[in-house]
Amino acid sequence: MDAYAWPWIFYINVPLGLIAGLMVWTYVRDVAHQVRAKSVDVLGIVLLTLAVGALQWMLERGERHDWFDSRFVTTLAVVSVVSAVLLVWRELTVDEPVIDFRVLRSRQLAPGVVFAAFMGLALYGSVFVLPVFLQQLHGYTAQQTGLVILPGAIASAVTMGVMGRLGGRFDARLLISVGAFMFLGAMWQLSQLPLEAGTDDLFWPLIMRGVGLGLLFVPLTGASMSDLPVHKLGQGTGMFNLLRQLGGSLGIAIMATLLSRYTKTFKAQLTEHVGAYDGATTERLGALTRGLMARGTDAVTAKQQALAMLDAQVGAQASVLAFSRIYLISGVLLVAALPLLLIWRNGRMAPGPVDAH
């Protein structure tokens, strides 16, 4: 809500987390095949923390510090890469790893987690730029932005619920492909929005995006895990979620960087056509100046304010073009990952044979 400060985006999770913890304590029971680890892979946990933590920090601070022109960002990148390499070596040589990379031998899981990374990149990137678009260019409040996004989220939740019950009747590759192209279609519609676009113009593209994502999540997860033995499902889902979240972090960083650079590029291109000798520009500047003078502003101040207003309009149009490019990139990235599904043996979502040993 607009009445609360930004830290409440974290505080709101406290009661939800307590409720979730209570439900887990009440309803979740250890399964019969579960085997407790004899030791804790402390070094693996430390290396995982360093690799992911340094990567997240680098992605968060990169744009602010001009990426690898900054020694700080470069150091974070080196720490992340070295820690990741050591983590893989450690987890492949220890008896009870915190992350079992051996599950990636699965012909279903390996392409599934890579696709999940692409999905996180495209999804989180597009989710990140939409509120910025609404609040910076349209002056929406945080609450208004949430209300605009809400119908799409509901559409996604409903679709995932349907897929959970009926998705097993269809080939997951077909459902994922349909979902990816629906996502691309929604991104294309968003890319065509003009500066004057309103809430009604956003409704159906966001509904389409929500349905498309609903068609992606459940089939992708189910088919990726379909040939893992039951006692490996925990490692498989952990790997799947880790790659999706890392893809999302990378997507936000990439889209933020591209948004800034595209805006500058498009503004420079538009400014080339806005000059003192351009008839349309002169006419527009004169109209703005006369309008300000009619409100009581003196001629000199009116001319300065008119120039500032014209510059702001050019900047706004440049931002619209930049957002348009970002939406298209998000959609194309997801569709470009579809060939990974050809590696799958099949598209069934039912659990495969259980290895009891």
Identify which has the larger pLDDT, 329 or 73: 329
Q: What is the mean pLDDT of residues 74-100?
A: 85
The pLDDT, as a whole number, for residue 99 is 80
| pTM score, whole prediction | 0.81
Instruction: Tell me the residue type at 323.
Output: F
Residue 317 CA to residue 306 CA, distance in Å, equals 17
Please give the pLDDT value at position 154: 93
More confident residue, 201 or 303: 201
Structure tokens at 46: 């430390």
The listed CATH number (3.40.50.960, 1.20.1250.20, 1.10.1520.10, 3.40.980.10) that belongs to domain 107-357: 1.20.1250.20
Q: Is the CB of residue 259 less than 8 Å from the CB of residue 327?
A: no
Tokens at 237, concatenated = 């889902």
Residue ranges covered by each domain of the chain: 37-99, 107-357
Q: From CA 319, how far away is CA 262, in angstroms rounded?
A: 8
- For residue 270, is pLDDT > 80? no
Among residues 196, 199, 331, which one has the least CA distance to residue 255?
A: 331
What's the mean per-residue pLDDT of the chain? 81
Single-letter code of the amino acid located at 94: V
Q: How many residues does the chain have?
A: 357
CA atoms within 13 Å, Cβ hemisphere of 316 = 17
Q: What's residue 2's pLDDT?
A: 59
Q: What is the pLDDT of residues 128-178, one digit of tens each?
A: 888 878 887 777 887 888 888 889 889 999 998 888 887 778 888 999 999
Residues 249 and 55 sit within 8 Å (Cβ to Cβ): yes
Which helix (H) or strand (E) segment is 16 a member of?
helix 13-27
pLDDT at 199: 77
Q: Is pLDDT at 353 greater than 50 in this prediction?
A: no
The pLDDT of residue 124: 84
- The amino acid at residue 348 is R
The residues, any chain, with a CB within 8 Å of residue 350's CB and separated by 6 or more, are 168, 222, 226
pLDDT at 33 over 80: no
Each residue's pLDDT tens digit, 281-309: 666 666 767 776 777 777 777 777 777 77
